[in-house]
Amino acid sequence: MGPEPLLRRLVGGILRSRREAQGRTLRDVAASARVSVAYLSEIERGRKEASSEVLIAVCAALGMRLVDLVGDAHAELADRAPVLDLTARAGLGARTGPRSALEPAERAGLQATLRAA
């Protein structure tokens, strides 16, 4: 797994994918969103951090809501997220063996901790 992606690159990629899936040009979407073509291009390439107002305008121009954009970003980030082994003993790192490698008392303590969380 590599480093976390920059949010601006992730958001830009999602917006570009949506635009291309609709077969629309930068010029068309930029005009609908009332931003310059150059600025929208910079956003799509992940070179500019767009304000929430601009993101809302671009999303609306693409027929989506901000929550759709955030949901897509969440899905992409979740696919990249590492899986944390909660059964690993403290200080020993992730375990590759079966879950039953924990002693019964350790397993009971872990289950109680997870229930309390």
Question: Domains in the chain, start-ordered, CATH in brackets?
Answer: 7-80 (1.10.260.40), 85-117 (no CATH)
CB contact at 8 A, 11 and 58: no
Please give the Cα distance from 96 to 16 (Å, whole number).
Answer: 39
Torsion sign, CA atoms 53, 55, 58, 63: negative
Q: Tell me the mean pLDDT per 10 residues along the chain, length 117.
A: 84 97 97 98 96 97 97 89 59 46 52 53
pLDDT of residue 1: 58
pLDDT of residue 111: 53
3-state secondary structure of 41: helix
* Distance (Å) of CA 98 to CA 83, 103, 108: 15, 12, 16
